[in-house]
Amino acid sequence: MRLCKYHKLLRDSHITSEPILKPGSFPLSIIFVLLGFINSLKISVFTCTDEIMQQEIRPLVAVDIIEQLHRQFAILSGGRGKDGAPIITFPEFAGFSDIPDEDFLNVVTYLTSIPSLEAASIGFIIIIDRRRDKWSAVKASLTRIAGAFPGNLQLVFVLRPSRFIQRTIADIGIKLYRDDFKMKVPIIMLNSVSDLHGYIDKSQLTRELGGTLEYGHSQWIHHRTAIENFAMTVKTTAQMLQTFGTDLAETELPNDVQCTEELLSAHTDHHSKLKDELKLAVKQGATLLTCIREPVTRSANSKLSSDELENVATVERLLAQLDETEKAFDQFWTKHHLKLEQCLQLRHFEHDFREVKLTLDNLMEVQAGFADIGDSVTRVEHLLREQKQLEEKGQEPLEKAQSLALHGEQLIQNNHYAVDSIRPKCVELRRICDDFTNETKKKYDILGKSLELHKQLDKASQWCEAGIYLLASQAVDKCQSQEGAETALVEIEKFLVTAKEHQLSNPKEILQKLEDVQEMFDKRQVSLKKLAAKQTRPVQPVAPHPESSPKRASPKITRPAGVGRHCNSPPFLSFSHIINELIETERVYVEELQSIIEGYASEMDNPNLVHLIPSALQNKKEILFGNLPEIYEFHNRIFLKEIENCIENPELLARCFLKRKEDLQIYEKYCQNKPRSEALWRQCGDSIFFQECQRKLDHKLSLDAYLLKPVQRITKYQLLLKEMLKCSKNSEGTAELEEALATMLDIIKSVNDSMHQIAITGYEGDVSELGKLLMQGSFNVWTDHKKGHNKVKDLARFKPMQRHLFLYTKMLLFCKKREENTDGHEKTASYSFKNSLKMSTVGITENVKGDNKKFEIWYNGREEVYIIQASSVELKNTWISEIRKVLTGQLEACRGRTERVRFGSVAFLL
């Protein structure tokens, strides 16, 4: 029967004092338990509580039959029989027989579902009040109740019609038709309410039945509706918790800081809203509880009926379940929120780790490039200063790395879930810091020894020169006498005593000069001792031999190594050594380019790895790698082979660079694309695709470090050519080496200028139509325009404009330099276009009175004058020279149509 099923749900064993949520059980347990309890407050056709999660059948609630309840043809007053049986009263109702069967069944079914299972199991007592009605009404009521009453019956009391005839008919009728009513319980016919009081205590009967029980039907309906609304509110809240809990459980942790922050914020906002919903539900329940208890609160003599007590118990159980649910949900949220916060900490840690590691890797790479140990005291001292600057530059990133490692250890100590990811990074940071520190110490040690060696070599060289001077200054004629020979011998012996200060443990070729000078002194000593031992006859004075002049060293003496780096002295790095270094690094460079192309670029077309490539990287291989394949092909097929041929013919090396001047311009295209490549890498560099490629290649550095190699390579060529030039001064091939070095410097300048050029913004024309970019740089600029009445006077009073100038063969552009931060990375410059001057219509004034770093560029017969101040006189002269070349070239090209006019120090073209 429905009543039994309802009561079973209402008092289901799941409603206990234990917490609903256990660790790991959210959110299913909330719905299984809480919704089962809430649904038990209504009439349901479920066969078991498990079906709550399987189907949703809308139960019967007071609001569905509110009109029928308001008609008050049947009421549950809350009274009880002596054994606790619930009492249902059918008051006098004129249209009782006209009530539709469905309405009657719904009301009776609803009323029998309200008492507790324990009370309902005793059986219901029905009181039918028909004192003012006829026997036909009594009969109809009994028949309808017998056929439709859904609960267990204990007794049926009938207050029979009060009129004599109808009462007589009722007595006869009840005897004749008792079996027709199909009731297995006694039907007691009562003449008056006083007879009813013999069966039921007055305190359990309403005033209409002569009792003292306070009952208001409208208030009863209001309480029932409020209780069921509250139950629905709790159910809705539980469902929201379930949905949110499911979302939390299925949420994947983001891989970057921004997404993690957004997810944490979204989840926290949602949690706050749910907490507000819970607070509102609790407030609603507390208000409802206060309303039900209001009679007792208002009067100490008042007592709540059994049904009202059950209503109180129901609301209290709902509130208790809501409290347990909230506590369990808070416990679950605390764990989830902690994990999100730890995820955000991890993403910040990983982001900082990548930035610090990149900085440290760059420092290590720069430090590794300090391979020179110096060839003189001055050079070694310069290297020591550079090493000191590098050490000072590395202090901040080293401190950041140590601080980040300490932060990582703190995360581990705080039981962070990603210990296996954090600990290796902490170890890596400390390893790089230790490597940098140890390498710095090693460099200082080597350079210190080199400095000491060169100081000793300088002292030895000075000692040799002083010895040579001493020997050359001893007059031969004075040494022919015994006294003169003894005097000279004493001078030599005193000088030789200082030789111990310059004894070195270096190879023989380094000490050759010391040995040669020592040999000269030994021979002179032997000669002088012979003269001092016997009196020799006077000889004609002879002037010192030219070879013994104090200003010229003996031909036998070789210069100590390290004093110079010319190839006619034994250098630390010879020409052949530099060529070997060039070839070896070129081979390594080609291998690295090949590994990048095959290990990264080609893998982007591998169908097995397509799913690992971020969407932002799709179809952008050319942006990330630029023209790197073209650079690789040139070096692999052409340049490497040509410089390898120079091993046997070093003099051909400079020609390789001169011959391939145009080919090396490919680096300009690569460098122009580099900003786009770096921006794309910052967006996608953390993807699993790059990590997988790096793992397969067994590269210690990530791809972005290798993408810097081409930029570093062109700089390396310049440095190696400089070293070669030092070893070949005044020798054959020097001129070609100088030209090759100038070529590389031009290429580097061209690349640098083009990098600035692509950052020009706001110029409406096509920059490529302005001719070749000759110069670019920043200057202070004043204007002296004579337009109408707006002539600018007393320029010194005005602050100069900061302008970046671009000199083309056809145009001079004035731009304003701007610097912006890009995603937390270093500042990038852009140049906002402000003005332009056609070179065919400008003139220059080379010198401006009062400042030798200023010059003028003017336009349209000095209608517009730009006073430009360079940072140095040299820079000013360089720009004037280039502008002259442009103007002279235009003059020669247009000689038939132009005429050159000079006014003092002013030159301009018509």
CATH number at residue 696: 1.20.900.10
Q: Looking at residues 878-888, what average pLDDT do you find?
A: 91
Q: Tell me: the pLDDT tens digits for 503-558?
A: 554 444 445 555 666 666 676 667 666 666 644 444 333 333 333 333 333 333 33
Average the pLDDT over each of 225-229, 687-691, 802-806, 866-870 and give the range with the smallest value.
Answer: 225-229
Q: Tell me: the pLDDT tens digits for 407-424?
A: 988 888 888 888 888 899
Q: What distance in Å separates the CA atoms of residue 71 and residue 51, rounded to the nearest whole number?
A: 35
Q: Which domain holds residue 608?
A: 575-754
Please check the confidence at residue 485 and state whether its pLDDT lies above 50: yes
Q: Tell me: the pLDDT tens digits for 550-584?
A: 333 333 333 333 333 334 333 345 777 888 888 99
Report the SS3 class of residue 827.
strand
What per-residue confidence (pLDDT) applies to 616?
87
Residue 762: name the closest of 838, 835, 832, 837 by CA. 832
Place of tokens 């206990």: 16
Are residues 211 and 65 part of one domain?
A: yes
CA distances, 105 to each of 69, 86, 90, 665 (Å): 12, 18, 13, 96
The DSSP-derived string for 439-455 is HHHHHHHHHHHHHHHHH
Are residues 601 and 729 part of one domain?
A: yes
Which region holds residue 826: left if phi is over 0, alpha if psi is between -120 and 50, else beta? beta
Q: Has residue 11 been placed in a domain? A: no
Are residues 715 and 601 part of one domain?
A: yes
Q: What distance in Å separates the CA atoms of residue 811 and residue 859, rounded to the nearest whole number?
A: 12
Are residues 435 and 479 part of one domain?
A: no
Strands 153-159 and 124-129: parallel
Are residues 691 and 729 part of one domain?
A: yes
Are residues 268 and 168 part of one domain?
A: no
Percent of the chain with pLDDT over 90: 12
Are residues 592 and 673 part of one domain?
A: yes
Final residue belonging to a domain, choices 215, 230, 259: 215
Q: Which two tokens stand for residue 357?
A: 């590691």
Q: Has residue 235 been placed in a domain? A: no
Residue type, 647: I
The C-alpha angle 636, 639, 645, rounded to 5 degrees, equals: 110
Are residues 728 and 830 part of one domain?
A: no
Are residues 727 and 587 part of one domain?
A: yes
Q: What is the pTM of this model?
A: 0.41
Average pLDDT of the residues of the chain: 77
Q: Which two tokens stand for residue 593?
A: 């380019």
Which region holds residue 64: left if phi is over 0, alpha if psi is between -120 and 50, else beta? alpha
Q: What distance in Å separates the CA atoms of residue 888 and residue 882, rounded to the nearest whole number?
A: 10
Residue type, 151: G
Domains identified in the chain, total number: 6
Q: Which two tokens stand for residue 230?
A: 């509250």
Final residue belonging to a domain, choices 716, 736, 754: 754
128 within 8 A of 141, measured Cβ to Cβ: yes
What per-residue confidence (pLDDT) applies to 514?
59
Average the pLDDT over each of 54-58, 375-379, 587-591 and give the range with the smallest value.
Answer: 54-58
Are residues 479 and 430 part of one domain?
A: no
844 within 8 A of 865, measured Cβ to Cβ: no
CA distances, 139 to each of 131, 263, 427, 604, 898 (Å): 13, 70, 94, 91, 132
Q: Tell me: the pLDDT tens digits for 655-684?
A: 888 888 889 888 888 888 888 888 899 889
